[in-house]
Amino acid sequence: MKRLPVLAAAVALIALNTGSGRAADAPQDSAAIIQQIKNDADPATVLQQIKNAVFSTGPNGETAASADSVQLTPEEISKIAAMHVTAAISLQYTSTEWAQAQIRGVTNQLKKMGVQVVAVTDAGFKAETQVSDIETILTRKPKIIVSIPVDPSATADAFRRAAAGGVKLVFMDNVPKGFVPGKDYISDVSADNYGNGVVSGLLMAKALHGKGEIGLIYHGADFFVTRQRYEGFKAIIAKYPGIKIVAEQGIAGPDFTGDAEKAASAILTSHPKVNGLWAVWDVPAEGVLSAARAAGRDPSGLAVTTCDLGANIAIDMAQDGYVKGTGSQWPIRQAETEAILAGYGLIGKEAPAYVALPAVPVTKENILAAWKQVHGIEAPDLVKKALQ
């Protein structure tokens, strides 16, 4: 592959920096950034040059603010603590490492602010369940709800009832349809999901040395952030004309692992020359691994990349398995930022409409350090043992 000499225009556009979690200061234009990358540019060089950059804009096109800019003074924290309010967390599901980091981060940060979390709910990725969850939460009379809407349309009325009752809403990733920041909710905090897709695409290009046939397993639902990952991955793969996308299959869940296994099996059967598979996040990626094993594919001839960093894909990566890398979110920092922004709502402090955290490239070489960064705790013993 050709060496990428410099992304001068892109660097100027996104104002790359070295801050932890700092978004670009200039307005982002992901298409323009991608356009500056030369065809067949060395993926490792590109990964280094886009380090800490944020590609994504918010659900309504908002420019991403820096997580570093979201802070409360000691006086503001004291004011919040004196209110003696409670909070609740409503998630799409709670079984993943991402979700557990979110719960841990929101709970611990709110505790520092004198706010107790009185409920955590798991919707099983079903909109009707989340609507019921919100109704149950409201009986506890929390002043804060931090949530990721499972379906932006189907859950909108439930969240609007919460807002009408004076509840301060902070969202993770998705925002209900028709909601206006600063009016209906405080802020939306997200990973740089377009960037997660870009990173996972560059890791795929690196693993395939710029040549091959690949299949994509995307999220077949109206979910803003997973759509951004899909778009980011495809945009960067287009810069490597030697890599051909020969199959795409959407999965809707709630059994994302099982659905992805079926989709991957179909792709491997229909396209036996496929040497790369991409899954939209780590849970579907687990199904991809099951399909690859069932098909008897050798890990040396099949590269899998994804987004997020769960234990099962981390173990496979550590053991030189199919997973060659992931563009991970930063859920612990995202969660802490969400909690602080909830505090903004309580004291009437003006909040940015959209905050995004940069993607974290993860490979076998940095897996332990990356785990601690994105989850805020040491990697599980099983991951550590797999490296040995």
In the chain, where the domains are located: 68-191+331-355, 192-329+361-387
192-329+361-387 adopts what CATH topology? Rossmann fold (3.40.50)
Instruction: Count CB neighbours of 282 within 10 A.
Output: 25
Q: Are β-strands 168-172 and 187-191 bridged in parallel, bridged antiparallel, or unpaired? A: parallel
The predicted pLDDT at position 4 comes to 37
pTM, 2 dp: 0.83
Instruction: Check the CA dihedral 69-70-73-76 and report its sign.
Output: positive
Closest CA to 214 of 295, 287, 278: 278
Residues of the chain by 3-state class (helix, strand, coil), percent to 5: 45, 20, 35
Residues 312-349: tens digit of each pLDDT: 999 999 999 999 999 999 999 999 999 999 999 999 99
Q: What is the mean pLDDT of residues 59-70?
A: 90
Residues 264-319: tens digit of each pLDDT: 999 999 999 999 999 999 999 999 999 999 999 999 999 999 999 999 999 999 99
Average pLDDT score over the chain? 91
Domain 68-191+331-355 matches domain 192-329+361-387 at the CATH topology level: yes
Q: What is the mean pLDDT of residues 142-148?
A: 98
Buried b / exposed e along 218-235 (16+ C-beta atoms within 10 A)? bbbeebbbbbbbbbbbbb
- What residues have CB less than 8 Å from 364, skipping those under 6 apart? 317, 318, 320, 387
DSSP state of 2: B
What distance in Å separates the CA atoms of residue 357 and residue 53, rounded to the nearest whole number?
9
Q: Assess whether pLDDT exceeds 50 at residue 16.
A: no
Quick one: pLDDT band at residue 156, thresholds 50, 70, 90?
very high
The predicted pLDDT at position 5 comes to 38
Among 32-41, 250-259, 358-367, 374-383, the range scoring the smallest mean pLDDT is 32-41
E strand residue ranges, 316-367: 323-328, 354-357, 360-362
The predicted pLDDT at position 29 comes to 61
The predicted pLDDT at position 287 comes to 98
What distance in Å separates the CA atoms of residue 28 and residue 11, rounded to the nearest whole number?
11
Task: List the structure tokens of 272.
Answer: 């036996």
Q: Assess whether pLDDT exceeds 50 at residue 27.
A: no
The predicted pLDDT at position 321 comes to 97
CATH of domain 68-191+331-355: 3.40.50.2300
